Amino acid sequence: MRIVIQRVSQAQVTIDQEVVGQIGPGLMLLVGVSDQDDQDTVAYMARKIANMRIFSDEAGKMNLSVKDIGGAVLSISQFTLYARTKKGNRPSFTDAGQPDYSNKIYQALNQALSQDYHLPVATGEFGADMQVSLVNDGPVTIILDSEE
């Protein structure tokens, strides 16, 4: 699983000119799934996301998690995180998970963040053409890769 985490002051996702998910301060996630990901991967990634200390404390140090600040999560499925670009100019997405399986794992991640870590989670729609807007706070952007 590959996840791009962005610390945001606000973010939203729109489908067909309708806002389907939005958050204030928190984390915007772009989530890519491979066929090798499983429930152990989901548990690991959810724990890392919920507990990652990338929000500033009163001293200005990155010492607080999204849970600590009472933030939310906007989670967006993003199969293109598995693009291979070594050969040619057209990316190959053969390393991305099969759609049905990827959706199952993506939904499991969102559920783990919500149920296990009590985070408000807004989402887009798996496989939809979405427009995502955000205000990256910092900017702070972290890449999590379960294979590293």
Identify the active-site residue in 12, 41, 78, 123: 78
Does 115 qualify as catalytic in the annotation? no
Rounded Cα distance between 34 and 124, Å, is 19
Identify the active-site residue in 55, 79, 123, 126: 79
Does 78 qualify as catalytic in the annotation? yes
Identify the active-site residue in 80, 111, 115, 131: 80
Does 79 qualify as catalytic in the annotation? yes
Find, among 52, 48, 45, the residue nearest to 7 by Cα: 52
Q: Coil, strand or helix: which one is 139?
A: strand
Looking at 18-147, which runs of residues are DSSP E strands?
A: 18-23, 26-32, 55-56, 62-64, 72-77, 121-123, 131-145
Q: Residues with catalytic annotation?
A: 78-80
